[in-house]
Each structure stands twice: as structure tokens, then as C-alpha cells.
Amino acid sequence: MGPANPWRSVARTDTGKVRARNEDAFLDCPQHGLWAVADGMGGYQCGDVASQMIVTHLAELPEEGCFDERVIAVRQCLHWLNRRMSQELTITPDRRDSIMGSTVVALLIDGTRGACVWAGDSRCYLLREGRLHQLTRDHSLLEQLIDEQKMTHEQASQSPNARALTRAIGASDQLKLEVLELEVCPGDVFLLCSDGFYQGLDNEMVREAMSLESMHTLFDEVRRGSARDNLTAVVISQ
């Protein structure tokens, strides 16, 4: 990582109005060019522990090495955590309700290179030259039905388990991470967020959240709504 890091960021998380505890966690390390959001899997035991483990271990990764080496280190860290959560920390692995798990979306930037690594339905958005791009694709049953059954979004959303995750850290012995590498351009703005933040927001509202100054305003608006889930957002800007 070069000594002059132009990136600044702002992060916020909230329990919301319904959940008893906040199972979201975030990593905000602009000095290392690394950010992440983890959303502990609702209904499972220790979702808050799982998400906190992810951001803690990512924060401990060395910032030395070239970009490719750092991407590999992020992936290896998440695979190690997946093995730990799915095997060592699960007392009764044959019981679904005993799973310790979490989504994760991590963003690594070094110079003009960026990489997004994720599993689950926490998202990464990019705002470039006024256009909003969703860089991640949710690992959910809804997206799987759209891909494999050729359903429309409206049809797939009628499934009773549409929001069920198809990938997450700790959910199974085998973890398949998705990685998107991209060229980072001057003026790019990124948003990492949990589903509790983006649900109910249209693209224009997401776009409005993507500045260091306005993120807190929209965050407060989301919190004033139903806020049935924990909500977390990290905005990264130059």
C-alpha cells in the first residue's frame, strides 16, 4: 500500500426497531484500503459472534504484499473462518438451528486496482460518473430461481423462502466465494451494506446515500421506517 492513500470512508450500524441485538458488523480501514460488512445469519445462534469474528480477522491481515497477494489473503482468511464456524464451533452440525454463520462483503483497493469478495446477500455498489452499478449479485434462493428456473423477479419473489441464502460463511463445509476485480477510477464512490439497509430503497435512494455527507441522513430515514432488521452501511470515497 502506498503511503498516500486518498480514500476516506464513513460507517454506521444500528440494531433497528425489532431485533433484540445487532448481528451486523463492519470493518472501516481506509488506511489499509480494506472495508467489509458482515451480517450474522438471523435465527441462528451467535450471529453477532460470527460477524464480529469476520471483521476482526480481516482487520488483522497484514497490509504488506502486492494486490494479488492481499486478495488471496482475504480469501484464505474467509475460508479458514468458514471451516472454523462450520466444524469446530458447531456443537451439533446436523442441526440447522445450531449453525454459526454470517454473510460477508469485503472491498480491497490498492491504487487503481480493486476487488470485491463476497458470500451471501450483503452488497457492494459503485457510483461512477453518476451511474449506479450493483457489483455484487445476491447469493439467495430468489436469484437462484431467476437463474435456473428462468423466473421473473416478481415470480421468484413469491417463493416462501425467496430470501433464504444459498451461500454464507459457516453455512456449510464447502464455501464458494465470489470475487470481482475491477479498475478503480478517479471519482468512484463505493457503498457496502447489509440487506437491512438496502431493502426498501430504490436505486435513486441508494445513489443519494453514496456520499460521505449524506449517508447519515439516509441512514436515519431508513431507521425511521419499519427497520425490522439490523442495518449497516459503509461509504468509501476519494
Please tell me the CATH superfamily of domain 8-237, with its number: PPM-type phosphatase domain (3.60.40.10)
The predicted pLDDT at position 92 comes to 47
The predicted pLDDT at position 90 comes to 52
Angle at Cα 84 formed by Cα 11 and Cα 73, nearest 5°?
Answer: 60
Task: Provide the pairing of β-strand 113-119 with 102-110.
Answer: antiparallel
Q: Average pLDDT by consecutive 10-residue portion of the chain (238 residues)? A: 74 86 94 96 72 96 94 98 79 54 96 97 96 93 75 73 84 93 97 91 89 88 82 94
The predicted pLDDT at position 52 comes to 94
**Residue for cell digits 452488497?**
123
The predicted pLDDT at position 44 comes to 55
Give residue limits of the domains in the chain. 8-237
SS3 149: coil
Q: Which residues pair with 237 in a beta bridge?
A: 8, 189
- The pTM of the full predicted model, rounded to 2 decimals, is 0.90
Residues 134 and 125: beta-carbon distance below 8 Å = yes
Task: Provide the pairing of β-strand 24-29 with 34-40.
Answer: antiparallel
